[in-house]
Amino acid sequence: MTQPRAHASATGIAFAAVTSLYFAWGFITSLIDPLVASVRGIFTLTNFQAQASAFAFFAAYGIFSFPAAVLIARMGPVRSIVTALGMMVGGCLLMLAAANLAVYTLVLLGLFLLASGITMLQVTANPLAAGLGEPRRSHFRLTLSQTFNSLGTFIGPLLGAHLFLRGVEVKDGTVVNDAVRAQALSGIDNAYFWICGLLAAMAVFFWLLRRVIAAAAPPAGQPAPIGQLFSKALASRWALLGGLAIFLYVGAEVAIGTQMALFLNDDAVWGPSEAPFGIPLLGWAMGSDGIPGVSLQEAGKAVAFYWGGAMVGRALGSALLARVSAAQLLTICTAAAVAMCLYVAAVGGVSAGFVALAIGLVNSIMFPVIFSLTLERSSAGPEATSGFLCTAIVGGAFLPLLVGKVADRAGYGTSFVVPAAWAGAMIRRSFPTLIGAAGIALSGTAIGRTQADAPVVSVFAALRAQAPARIARLPLRVTGRVQRVSADGDAEYARQWPGTYFDTAFRNGPPLIRIGAGAATYRILLDDARSVVLVRPEPGFYRLTGVQHGTHRLRVQIVSESQAGATRFGGFYAQSGTVAARLVAERRQIEFIGDSHTVGYGNTAPNTACTQDEVWATTDTAQGPAGQLARRYGAGYQVNAISGRGVVRNYEGGAGATLPVAYRSALLTGAPQPVQRSWRPQVIVVALGTNDFSTPLRVGETWPDRAALHADYERTYLRFLRQLRAAHPQALVIVWATDLAQGEIAREAGRVVALAHAAGDRRIAFVPVRRLAFSACHGHPDRCPTGCLEDTMMRTKARREHLRSVVRRLGLAAAGTLAICAGAVDARVRWPGGARAAVILTYDDALPSQLDNALPALDAARIKATFFLSSVRGADILRWRAAAAHGHEQANHTIFHPCLAATFPADPRYTLEAYTSDSLLREIAQQNVLLAALDGRKRHGFATPCGQTLAGGVDYLEPLRQSGLVTYARGVSETAQDLRADASGIDPMHVPARGFAEGATLAQMTDFIAGAQAGGGMAVFLFHGIGGDHLQVSATVHRDLIAWLKRHRADVWVTTLQDALDWAKAHPGGSDARHCDDQEAGRTAACATGGR
């Protein structure tokens, strides 16, 4: 996978050229700061009017970001860069005209055109710099390019102040005479003349290098309509929150920078002082003119240190991110910026000038961290999200106007209150959600990539090659084919087959992950919800950060294949305080055997044209059919597949062991080794034949013609299936094949299954899969949505009935994974939309944390829940009424929540010993009156307080049933049998539920749901406090559960308890509710034809 030298050289030249653009737009952008001060004096403007220069410049980002993205996709990188430079040349010419004609309107037009070109440059250069080289070094290249950008922003104010502000003063009582005005206009003329010439030269240079850059650049995607990109961004909550944060941050940063020279020159700050010249580097850069005090030109040069602080801050921030999570550092820096702005506004004086310059230091990490946090969480996709975030830079157009207005009325120092308020708004509105879902990070130097399907902070490299002191190995479970080997006296696991994964569970602090030698792609998954991906990371120990206290499950999946040689995984290690936790066994097991289609070769790529590096970056076995189907059915899985291998013939007759031969070995290289004997799959899914038949026979191959190849294929495939049967007598074997090669693959695979049937093996089924989308790398299947392969297999009712008959005939109903082929068991309730289970979220006791934390999360995801109300506070009545109006069920939990006296301390009058059945029923009736006032409904459910049903020693549930006061009674416990029970047969007065309290994890909750999915049943959650109050579940875990349910809407129906029971009663098992036939027909057809 090493690039040829010529290609590497061309890539280096292209990257150097692109990096020069970063310097150019950094330099030109920072000229705005001295220009604002200059035009205020030249044209005798107010601060508000002078800040129109910043408005004109940054408004271009809001107007041109999305159109630029579309133009770039159509024109390609080189033409886009040349076009952008041409626009900037046009802006410079307008600035020359403005300087010679002394017309401020032309200044504004010139700045807008300049910024439009810069916007196009930024949208082009960022992905280009990241893509010019190996993917694992993309962060290094972007950081290096940004360093040159920061250098430009440092030099710009120094040169701009020297040219634009010579002799210019704007203090009250000063006048800019004609000579000073002409000198300042001449400085503007000279600056933009030379900039114009340099930009024109750069355009010519890039045009001459067009072939080099085009050869080195990654392939461009298809252009998407502007409206489509914008609507995708607006539909993503994360994109909106990130956009708001960028809008506020850039507005604050630009407002401070553009006002800085005027502020420092003010008599209340540095105007009459000589103190700044006593600071060695600062005094030298300002260059005293010998006149006491700080002139506007000297103050303008000092602004370079505001941007220089940002340059230093980025370097320091990179080091701090190795020890502090990005989310925490973002909050700390923003709070520091607020405090510094308030200090400047409240204290003033010489010290305020130094504090104001230092704001750039804490501002430095905000833009890249907000940008990366948003990209990693947004569901809109990188193109739409990036374009939206670039559009949000328009915040730099609006806040400077407000700061200018405040400065006009209350002074420059007071105007710092405005950026303080905007930064405070970031902390109050945007950051809690962005940070609250921050997920996990690995600490060290950035090298990896992240996936859009799960929220993560960032990816970082190894701490060190040697083991940190005082650590111990954690127990782990290995799924997949490995060999234990020794490395430096410690055990490691060598593997080559894709899809191998390692599990551990822990509490009281995150463990270290040890990655061994060899090139592989790792997906690190925390609690089945948060993931981060490392592409070919360096060996060493990796530390998880951003993990909350509690019990967690950690999985390291190797999602790439390694045909060239084995890679190694070193296991998990406990740090100080980390304790091993119980790891729940995976009772279901599915094995997938096949070729590159099963591997997931390049399956996340946006198009078919892929370099070898892009194949590495886009291959993800966990996102292929094996990983998706296994997740859907809660099963452990092995992927024993090799790209390019066939049954008897490899791709184009290539060398190497065929799959049946390689299958005997734990590793692909070296002598055959025994494989795991503990592996006992209930289902084996096999897809072989693509490489046997997709290319013509070549001269010198073993088979004289296709007929001979067919005979050899059928004989060898049948023998392989018999070997699988001997190893796993009870497994159901599913053979599937695509319609490639004019149907030759499917015909031959079907023939093999027919031969197996004729030989007496009836535990085998053949499934032809047609019209998959082969739009990923080199014409491979792309990543279809969850269930796509299943739905494609189940496309016709006849096929479903055939496979159901196989299931019934084999008596394998206990193997829940057979739902892969047969759909839900006919005897159970068919939930709406083909869902495999109903999930009901219930909340007891009408707690404030439910109103503050649970309801907002539910409403944001449009999920309805059931709240059992008792002891409702008068102050909360309107909020509970609003919850009912949003569709949440409100149910009865009595007025005083009576439990047995031994349960917890309580008023003796309100313990169950003090009640009778009649008195308790009267209280329930009175509570129904309150509920009717809240939700206007006549029917209400009930939950037993504390799950106890003895009032005065007598069970009150049967009298409650006879009274008709409630429609059901929910308890507080359940069994595995309850989860799998037919919901239409549940006794409504004994509805089971499972309680979750402090320490509950997302993994425990999704396991609970998986139990219901296994039998098509109903999972009823019982919560109390959410991020507060008693028996509380973490608000973060609760949000993660809501997010998980939202992502799995196709698999589970999330509804209220009353609606679930009503549906089950109206649609008992065997009814005409449809799973795949009608309601899902549109989704199935779209998926089968490659629609996404």
pTM across the whole model: 0.46
Asked whether residue 969 is assigned to any structural domain, the reply reads yes
Q: Which of 260-274, 531-545, 636-650, 954-968 has the weakest average pLDDT?
A: 531-545
Of 708, 717, 800, which is closest to residue 753 (Cα–Cα)? 717
Nearest Cα neighbor of 910 from 895, 921, 924, 922 is: 895
Kindly tell me the sign of the dihedral angle through the C-alpha atoms of 411, 414, 415, 416.
positive
Task: Report pLDDT digits (tens) over 126-136.
Answer: 667 756 665 44
What is the residue-averaged pLDDT of the chain? Answer: 78
173, 197, 223 - which closes a domain: 223
Residues 881 and 983 in one domain: yes
Residues 200 and 234 in one domain: no
What pLDDT score does 443 carry?
41
Q: Is residue 829's pLDDT more than 90?
A: no
Judge whether residue 588 has pLDDT over 60: yes
* pLDDT beyond 50 at 794: no
Per-residue pLDDT tens for 12-23? 777 788 888 888
- Strands 551-558 and 501-507, by their bridges, are antiparallel
Contact between 644 and 595 (Cβ < 8 Å): yes
User: What distance in Å separates the CA atoms of residue 524 and residue 961, rounded to the nearest whole number?
Assistant: 50
Asked if residue 747 is part of any domain, the answer here is: yes
Assign 546 to helix, strand or coil.
coil
Spacing of C-alpha 573 from chain mean position: 26
Same-domain pairing of 488 and 355: no
Residues whose CB is less than 8 angstroms from the CB of residue 304 and which lie 6 or more positions away in sequence, other chains included: 30, 154, 155, 156, 157, 158, 161, 285
- Is 446 domain-assigned? yes
If you average pLDDT over residues 461-476, what whole number do you get?
58
Number of domains in the chain: 5
pLDDT, tens digit (0-9, with 9 covering 90-100), for 255-285: 898 889 888 988 888 988 888 888 888 888 8
pLDDT confidence band for 372 (50 / 70 / 90): low
The region, left, alpha or beta by phi > 0 then psi within -120 to 50, assigned to residue 609 is beta
- Cα–Cα distance measured from residue 895 to residue 920, given in angstroms and rounded to the nearest whole number: 10
Parent domain of 564? 439-460+478-582
419 and 527, same domain (yes or no): no
Last residue of a domain, one of 530, 548, 582: 582
Residues 709 and 783 in one domain: yes
What angle (nearest 5°) sits at the alpha carbon of residue 355, between those of residues 41 and 412? 35
Decide: 732 and 815 in contact? Cβ < 8 Å. Answer: yes
Q: Which of 620-629, 662-671, 721-730, 762-771 ranks highest by mean pLDDT?
A: 721-730
Q: Which is it for strands 540-545 and 441-443: parallel, antiparallel or unpaired?
A: antiparallel
Give me the pLDDT at residue 381, please: 57
Q: What is the mean pLDDT of residues 1023-1028?
A: 94
Per the model's pLDDT, the better-predicted residue between 987 and 890 turns out to be 890
pLDDT attached to residue 376: 53
Using an 8 Å Cβ cutoff, are 458 and 542 in contact? no
Give residue 1060's pLDDT. Answer: 92
Mean pLDDT of all residues in 878-887: 92
- Could you give the angle at the alpha carbon of 306 between the alpha carbons of 189 and 396, nearest 5°? 70
Domain-located, residue 471: no
Q: What is the pLDDT of residues 740-767, one digit of tens each?
A: 888 888 889 888 988 988 888 878 888 8
SS3 annotation, 132-165: CCCHHHHHHHHHHHHHHHHHHHHHHHHHHHHHHC
What is the domain-level CATH number for residue 383? 1.20.1250.20
Task: Say what the pLDDT of residue 994 is.
Answer: 92
As a whole number, mean pLDDT of residues 332-348 equals 89
Cα dihedral 599→605→610→616 (10° resolution):
-50
First to last CA, the chain: 31
Q: Match 């298809």 to its residue by tokens.
A: 222
Q: pLDDT band at 142, cuts 50/70/90?
A: low
Token pair 């041109």 in the structure block, residue: 64
Q: Which of 53, 596, 917, 1034 is catalytic?
A: 596
Q: What percent of the chain has pLDDT over 90?
A: 22
pLDDT (mean) for 278-300 = 84
Distance, CA of 722 to CA of 664 (rounded, Å): 14
Q: What is the mean pLDDT of residues 54-75?
A: 80
> For residue 574, what pLDDT is reported?
83
Shared-domain flag, residues 173 and 249 = no
**Residues 228-232: what's their mean pLDDT?**
71
408 and 557 in a single domain? The answer is: no
User: What is the pLDDT averaged over residues 528-550?
Assistant: 73
User: Could you give the CA distance from residue 238 to residue 456 in angstroms, rounded to a whole number?
Assistant: 12
Residue 592 within any structural domain of the chain: yes
> Is residue 137's pLDDT more than 60?
no
d(CA 669, CA 685): 24
Residue 196 has pLDDT above 60, yes or no: yes
Domain presence at residue 455: yes
Query: What's the full length of the chain, in residues?
Result: 1092
pLDDT of residue 146: 72
Residue 896 pLDDT: 92
Tally Cβ neighbours within 10 Å of residue 505. Answer: 24
Determine the Cα angle at 136 with ends 135 and 140, to 5°: 100
Residue 819: pLDDT over 50:
no
Q: Compute the distance between CA of residue 1032 and CA of residue 849 in angstroms, rounded to an integer.
A: 9
878 Cβ neighbours under 8 A, 6+ residues apart? none
Is 596 among the catalytic positions? yes
Number of H helices, E strands in the chain: 40, 28
- The confidence score (pLDDT) of residue 547 equals 67
In a domain, residue 929? The reply is yes
Report whether pLDDT(335) > 50. Answer: yes
Report for 388-397, 813-822, 840-849, 903-912: range of highest mean pLDDT: 840-849
CA dist., res. 415 & res. 348, Å (int): 12
Structure tokens at 607: 């198009």
pLDDT at position 786, please? 36
Residue 771, pLDDT score: 60
Q: What is the CATH number of the domain that holds 870?
A: 3.20.20.370
Structure tokens at 612: 């070898």
Residue where one domain finishes, among candidates 552, 582, 612: 582
pLDDT > 70: percent of the chain: 77
998 occurs within a structural domain: yes
Q: Looking at residue 682, which CATH number applies to its domain? A: 3.40.50.1110
Note whether 655 and 704 are same-domain residues: yes
How far, in Å, are 158, 278, 296 from residue 288 at the CA level?
13, 11, 11
For residue 698 the two structure tokens come to 């070549």
- The amino acid occupying position 1044 is W
Query: Which tokens go with 1062?
Result: 């009503």
> pLDDT tens digits for 921-970?
999 999 999 899 899 998 999 999 998 888 988 889 989 999 999 999 99
- Tell me the one-letter amino acid at 546: G
Cβ atoms 249, 367 nearer than 8 A? yes
Query: For residues 813 and 996, is the Cβ–Cβ distance under 8 A?
Result: no
- Mean pLDDT, residues 611-622 taken together: 74
